[in-house]
Amino acid sequence: DTAVSQTPKYLVTQMGNDKSIKCEQNLGHDTMYWYKQDSKKFLKIMFSYNNKELIINETVPNRFSPKSPDKAHLNLHINSLELGDSAVYFCASSRSHGLPGYTFGSGTRLTVV
């Protein structure tokens, strides 16, 4: 039973399209995160939600909009995709905001062509 699951695993799309990545956790955690790992392998936090409330919003273009319908789900919608958005996006969760022991999903590899 996967703790943090992301769909899709791979996503290839054209520039200018709008796409969504879904994330669900079955751990009962209160906090969820989106991280982006670029081609240089650096992991950067994008957003964090605690009990459906946005608590971290890093310097991310407003084409990226997270949505948390409930505390078990955190989706990422991206408008007007650009080549530079190509990366692996990881969802993660933790028991509460900032508590150690994040659990990460296996990632969504987004390729914009």
**Count of residues engaged in binding another protein, rule: CB under 8 A:** 23
d(CA 24, CA 13): 23
Instruction: Draw the binding track, 31-50, toward another protein (x: CB under 8 A; -: no contact).
Output: --x-x-----xxxxx--x--
Rounded alpha-carbon distances, angstroms, from residue 35 to 11, 58, 66, 70:
16, 10, 12, 19
100 binds another protein (CB under 8 A): yes
Interface with another protein by CB under 8 A: which residues? 4, 33, 35, 41-45, 48, 56, 90, 92, 97-107
